[in-house]
Amino acid sequence: MNAPTSASGDRPARALIACHECDLMQRESDVPPGGMLRCCRCRAVLYRRRGRGFDRALAYALAACALWVISNAFPIVGLAVNGDLVETTLIGAVRVLYRDGMWPLAGLIFITTILMPALQSLGMVWLLLPLHLNRRPWRADAVFRVLRIARNWGMTEVLMLGLLVALVKLAHIAAVVTGPALWSLAALMLLLVAAASAFDERAMWMRIEKAPPGMPADTPLAGRTAAASGICVCHDCGLSTRGVQRHAHLCCPRCGARLHLRKPASLSRTWAYLISAAILYVPANLLPVMNTSSLFGAQKDTIMSGVAYLWQSGSWPLAIIVFIASIAVPMLKILAIGYLATTANLRMTQQNVQRARIYRVVELVGRWSMLDIYVIAVLVALVQFSAMATIEAGPASIAFGAVVVLTMFAAMSFDPRLIWDTERTPSPPSAEGSR
């Protein structure tokens, strides 16, 4: 069957794709290696052409698996006092928090620093190793969806910054001894970033399906957006499709994820998460986040007092980082998501591009608020000298962890296509490629 031609009749018409953020239907453009395809309306990145091949991503993922084992088998850091050495591993910090009754915090740290990085490394190996051997990965759809979740919730880079802050605080208590896991965690962080940047999801699906992912150029359209034409955009694999019916649900024929023209009850769920986060933000900042007992008495520290301690000790760059990540970012996220949800409720039609940018920034910075949680975990695990000093997590740590998780859920629940639903759109244009 011959490919459909463009209006001029001199070349094949390009396939149609829908933007996952504004839902505009547009024609694909050629993308050079290392370049990207942007939506011509909201400027969202539709596709990045990695140009490095699967072999490099596979090598990074295999190395990350090996470093993950080292990072969890050996101590991260130790504290030496009067000849006694207290060391901790990641799982050791989780165990101490669970023993102290802080099981919600222990579970959150286990998921974000141990489980998700493991799933991210193994998921890429699972998908790329069979392709390297010219075979189809078994259950590629389910593994790909798990990999997407692991990328969103794996926070190795935030953990490394938290360890740096914890080391500065520990240096004022006793001699700090760095363990092999500290360096392997740093290398693991770099390898996970390198593997993600080299992993071309679109090329992987083309290898598996042996077909281009876009809608055929002659697809009948009832409107300018995908929703108006009954086309859904899969938020897991990016496929524009009319979907298939599975178990009374419309699902993506490629990765199996559930499809919706718009996220169900997007605004109501966003407001529920957001209001809960705003309520918990107050005790998270007013109640003690750490309780310290020593020969000189007991001390209760809030997040703000921790920032003040770093500033007074001369570590003002870290004090600024902790203030931004633990105080400013959660508050600004709550305000930003509230603004997006309010304007979507009011069906505002002005400043759509600016609101789309705000949404991307909120998604980008959300994980960095976990910084203080990791600092607390390391301090609690190490400062356990019962005769001299002990540190325990305070009630604010659970409230603060809940704020971080709830604001991330709020950002994930908000459907950015609601920003553009009231805007009139022209005929399907071509997406813009760039380096």
Reading the block at residue 264, the tokens are: 């169900």
The reply to whether 201 falls in a domain is yes
What is the number of domains present in the chain?
2
pLDDT at residue 208, rounded to an integer: 85
The C-alpha atoms of residue 360 and residue 368 are separated, in whole angstroms, by: 14
Beta strands in 157-247 (DSSP E): 175-178, 232-233, 240-241, 244-246
The C-alpha atoms of residue 262 and residue 417 are separated, in whole angstroms, by: 8
- Of 259, 278, 293, the residue at which a domain comes to its end is 259
The reply to whether 363 falls in a domain is yes
301 and 165 part of one domain: no
Q: How many CA atoms lie within 13 A of 102 on its CB side?
A: 29
191 and 59 part of one domain: yes
Q: Which of 224, 176, 239 is nearest to 420 (CA)?
A: 224
pLDDT at residue 255, rounded to an integer: 86
- Strand pairing of 290-294 and 297-301? antiparallel
For the beta sheet containing 36-38, the strands, ordered from the edge strand earlier in sequence to the opposite edge, are 45-48, 36-38, 432-434
Amino acid at 287: L
pLDDT at residue 98, rounded to an integer: 92
280 and 369 part of one domain: yes
Please answer whether residues 372 and 304 qualify as being in contact, where contact means their C-beta atoms are separated by less than 8 angstroms. Answer: no
Please answer whether residues 189 and 374 qualify as being in contact, where contact means their C-beta atoms are separated by less than 8 angstroms. Answer: no
272 and 362 part of one domain: yes
The C-alpha atoms of residue 84 and residue 385 are separated, in whole angstroms, by: 9
Reading the block at residue 133, the tokens are: 């051997």
198 and 268 part of one domain: no
Domain that holds residue 288: 264-416
Beta strands in 308-408 (DSSP E): 384-385, 389-393
The reply to whether 108 falls in a domain is yes
Give the 3-state secondary structure of residue 395. helix
Quote the pTM value: 0.87
For tokens 């993506």, the residue is 252
Please answer whether residues 273 and 408 qualify as being in contact, where contact means their C-beta atoms are separated by less than 8 angstroms. Answer: no
The C-alpha atoms of residue 364 and residue 36 are separated, in whole angstroms, by: 18
The reply to whether 227 falls in a domain is no
Amino acid at 59: A
56 and 191 part of one domain: yes
The C-alpha atoms of residue 26 and residue 40 are separated, in whole angstroms, by: 8
185 and 269 part of one domain: no
pLDDT at residue 6, rounded to an integer: 44
The reply to whether 422 falls in a domain is no
The C-alpha atoms of residue 389 and residue 295 are separated, in whole angstroms, by: 7
Please, which residues have CB within 8 angstroms of residue 149's CB and are 6 or more apart in sequence?
116, 119
Q: Which strand (E) or helix (H) includes residue 37?
A: strand 36-38
CA 326-329-330 angle, 5° bins: 75
The reply to whether 38 falls in a domain is no
197 and 291 part of one domain: no
- Chunked in runs of 10, what are the mean pLDDT values of the chain (435 residues)? 41 72 85 83 85 84 96 89 80 90 92 96 95 90 92 92 86 82 94 91 83 66 79 85 82 87 92 96 90 67 84 82 88 95 90 91 87 87 67 88 94 93 60 63
The C-alpha atoms of residue 154 and residue 112 are separated, in whole angstroms, by: 5
Q: Which of 211, 190, 111 is nearest to 154 (CA)?
A: 111
Q: Which of 45, 42, 43, 44 is nearest to 352 (CA)?
A: 42
198 and 104 part of one domain: yes
Neighbours of 175 (CB within 10 A): 11
- Strand pairing of 36-38 and 77-81? unpaired
pLDDT at residue 54, rounded to an integer: 82
- Of 220, 244, 259, the residue at which a domain comes to its end is 259
75 and 141 part of one domain: yes
Q: Which of 263, 151, 258, 260 is nearest to 201 (CA)?
A: 151
The angle that helices 371-382 and 156-170 make with each other, rounded to 10 degrees, is 50
pLDDT at residue 79, rounded to an integer: 82
pLDDT at residue 5, rounded to an integer: 43
409 and 329 part of one domain: yes
390 and 298 part of one domain: yes
pLDDT at residue 334, rounded to an integer: 95
The reply to whether 145 falls in a domain is yes
Amino acid at 386: S
The C-alpha atoms of residue 396 and residue 383 are separated, in whole angstroms, by: 19
The reply to whether 388 falls in a domain is yes
pLDDT at residue 190, rounded to an integer: 95
Please answer whether residues 377 and 93 qualify as being in contact, where contact means their C-beta atoms are separated by less than 8 angstroms. Answer: yes
The C-alpha atoms of residue 236 and residue 354 are separated, in whole angstroms, by: 25
CATH (domain of 373): 1.20.140
